[in-house]
Each structure stands twice: as structure tokens, then as C-alpha cells.
Amino acid sequence: MEGLVSSGINTVRVFGITKHQSRFLPSSTLHLRNNSVCGFGIGVEKKEKKQCFVVAASVGGSKVVHFENTLPSKEVLELWRNGDAVCFDVDSTVCLDEGIDELAEFCGAGKAVAEWTARAMGGSVPFEEALAARLSLFNPSLSQLQDFLEQKPPRLSPGIEELVQKLKANGIVVYLISGGFRQMINPVASILGIPQENIFANQLLFRSSGEFLGFDKNEPTSRSGGKAVAVQQIKKAHGFKTLTMVGDGATDFEARRPGGADMFVCYAGVQLRESVAAKADWLVFSFKDLINSLGFVCRVLGGSLLALRTCIFVLLFHRRVPWHLRTRWLNCWALTRSMQFSISHIFREGNGCMDRLANYGVTLKVQSGEAPSLVLSENPLV
């Protein structure tokens, strides 16, 4: 769908991933399919002592694109680790496929929809117009949709389940925001453990006979700029201070605006859209990059430092905790023994406690309507 509203965006289909061993470099690089007409390549180079990804593409000539945002800044990491919520695009991000194209193919109209999409790529087309036009090419019935959902289970992107689980364990609320259809996204949300009320997507409408009627035009995601509106609604309703949008296309980047997403992470593990990737706060080719940056995280619920000390004591003997963390957290445990203040008091009065705790990867998390809590992370931010 992104191509319909993103004139001039060059896309590259990803079909292979190679792992890197270093946890400080992006955990994947791309192998892009070659043919007789055009060729693609990607690598890593050093430029002014900074790592950056280089994508080279040739179509009757040559073109080199530098991406210098694959290594996040300290500010970006802080937003990612300590944000209140993360909103994910679905098609070509959480899932490997574009939902409407898959449904059209199942209904026997895949080629027609693809041809219409190719024509639309030549100019700017409002999202709602593009959506209506493509649906009109095959008018899916309710029975066809049900058969599709039964025979074509969603194909999730590698690592997304682990990432969502880790975000939720860290107390970060997860949402799905898509220009696709709620009926097709509900199974995805079920797999990921995301509640239905955290889905913002379009709704296909049918008559009582099962005949296709259209789509609900009252949904914010049914029109251009809809994802930005959805993000603004989420922040306003829940009082979130910091929110990250993760996606692959221009409509996802649009959500990063005043009152909307505070950061945009471009996920290029399925589709690489050069102009979108270049503007992202952080460009990743694998969800492992986002998972690793969260580190070993433990959210401490409770109103006193006793809860933090207890958590550290337990983690010191946990078999999965690396030895270097045990040493750091042992020192942190010793520091907390000299502190007699509650978490709420630290939040109100400050007194430098959090500055000292931050050296050990302990940060304060405050969410609207909830008591303050402490987050113990593998990765200190100072």
C-alpha cells in the first residue's frame, strides 16, 4: 500500500539475511536479488570514524546510497528503552506480506491489483482513493475472506514475537496501526498477545448476505495521514510522554510529528524504501537490533528501594545473567543499602539518587495513572 501514497520512493525487496556477530553493529545485512536488468548490493563502510550502511543499485547506470542512521544515538536509545509505548505498522513490518495483495491473489485478482498498483506508482494518489480502487477490482465476499483467513495464516517477520514480549516485560505498551484490515490483523494480534483495543486498522464491511459492501471510512487509518491521527489519539487518551513508531513506509514516518510519535524507527527487513530510510531516527534491517538494544531488562514494581534490592539479589543468582552484570549490580545493591527513600520520594524530590542509580542501568519509569517504578537494564544510559 505504501507505494500508492509515496511517489518517488524506490523500494528494494529483501530476501536474505546474514547475521553479524558484534552486538554493536546492526545484526543483519542484506542480500538483494539480482537479475539481468538491475543489480543491488549492500555493505558496511567507515566514514569519519562512523559506521554506516551503503546500498548500491544499478539500473542502466549506478547509484550509491549511504545510510548513516543504522547506529542509534544516545538520545535515540534512551527514547527506545524508556518510552511509554511502541506502535508497529503491520504489512511488511510485523508481517512479511502486504495483506490486501495477498487477499487479492487469493480471490484471483492479484495480477489486476498489481498492475493498478504499478500505474499508481507514477503519481501521488490519496490513500483512501487507492484503497477503494484496489478493493473494487475484486470485491471480496465474507466467505472468501473467511476462507483466506483459514487457509493463509499470517507470516510474521523473524524476531517480532520476541521483541513484543520483551517490550511488554519492560512495561512498554504495544499497538498495531495499519492501513490494512482489522479482520486480517486480529489473528496477528492474537499471536502476539496484543489486545483488540490496541489495534487501529480499517474494517471491511459486508451485507447480511455476505456480499462486499466497502470499508468503514470513519476509521482514521482509512485516509491519508491516518496513522498520525491514530498516534495522537493514543498519546492523548493514555497520557503517554514518549512513543515510538516502527514501520517501513511514508505513512509510518508521517506519524512522527508534534503531538504524535517522538521517534520513527524504519524497519527495512522486508522492504527498503530509500527516502523513508534516510529520514528515520534509526534504520534497522532486523528486529534483533531492537531486541539487543533493550538488553537484559527487569521492571521493579513497588514503592520502595527494598523491592529493587530484592530484585537485584535474585538476579545475582540467576543463571542467565552474565558475570559482568552480576558485578555491576552487586555494586548497585550496595549503593541502594545506603538509600532510605521510597521510589515515590525519589520521583518527587530528586536528590541525585537517580543520577547515581543510572550509572548501573537503573532508570525511573512514570506512566500516567500508575505509581512510579524502577527499570533495571543491562545497558546503562550514562
Query: Using one digit for the tens of pLDDT, what is the confidence trace for 220-272?
Result: 999 888 999 999 999 999 999 999 999 998 889 999 999 999 999 999 999 89
Residue 134 lies in a domain: no
Which domain CATH number covers 164? 3.40.50.1000
The total of structural domains in the chain comes to 1
Predicted structure pTM score = 0.72
Residue 345 lies in a domain: no
Cβ(291)–Cβ(284) below 8 Å: no
Q: Which domain holds residue 244?
A: 68-97+156-293
Residue 272 lies in a domain: yes
Tell me the pLDDT tens digit for each residue of 307-350. 666 666 666 666 556 666 667 667 776 766 666 555 555 555 45
Please name the helix (run of DSSP H) or strand (run of DSSP E) that holds residue 133, with its range, or none. helix 127-136
CA angle (284, 122, 131) in 5-degree steps: 75
Tell me the pLDDT tens digit for each residue of 72-117. 999 999 899 888 999 999 999 999 998 999 999 999 998 888 777 5
The four Cα atoms 211, 217, 220, 223 give a dihedral, to 10 degrees, of: 100
Alpha carbon separation from 224 to 29, 82, 113, 252, 361 (Å, rounded): 32, 30, 20, 11, 41
Task: Give the active site residues.
Answer: 89, 91
Alpha carbon separation from 279 to 58, 68, 253, 274, 364 (Å, rounded): 22, 10, 8, 9, 30
Residue 113 lies in a domain: no
Residue 278 lies in a domain: yes
Residue 215 lies in a domain: yes
Cβ(365)–Cβ(163) below 8 Å: no
How would you classify the pairing of strands 50-59 and 63-67?
A: antiparallel
Residue 177 lies in a domain: yes
Please name the helix (run of DSSP H) or strand (run of DSSP E) that holds residue 373, with its range, or none. strand 373-377
Residue 11 lies in a domain: no
